[in-house]
Amino acid sequence: MPRTVSILSVGEVQLPAGPGMTRRMVSITYSVDGSFPRIAYVDAEKDTPEERKRAIADDWQKAQAQKAQTLEIP
């Protein structure tokens, strides 16, 4: 089922890739159907609209599979 994805912001970050190494990534802050915003990352060297769609779809699928944690407070 298609979902409406709003791209809230796009930026560039350096993420650790190993000892003393970083990788330049594009960070995409998005919201699906008005949900709480999430961030997906795409390798800056592979940044295309199709790769952004893939990264967002993968991240959203992982988020949906996670079970919400609960706490009991007094």
d(CA 73, CA 71): 6
Structure tokens at 4: 């409406």
Mean pLDDT of 3-8: 94
pLDDT digits (tens, 9 = 90+) for 40-73: 999 999 999 999 999 999 999 999 998 888 899 9
Q: How many domains does the chain have?
A: 1
Asked if residue 17 is part of any domain, the answer here is yes
pTM: 0.82
Judge whether 5 and 56 are in contact, CB under 8 Å.
Answer: yes
Residue 72 inside a domain? The answer is: no
Domain annotation covers residue 15: yes
Q: What is the DSSP string of 10-60?
A: EEEEEEEEETTEEEEEEEEEEEETTPPPEEEEEEGGG--HHHHHHHHHHHH
Average pLDDT over residues 6-35: 95
CA proximity to 3, closest of 48, 38, 42, 44: 38
Residue 44 maps to a domain = yes
Provide the domain limits for residue 35: 5-63
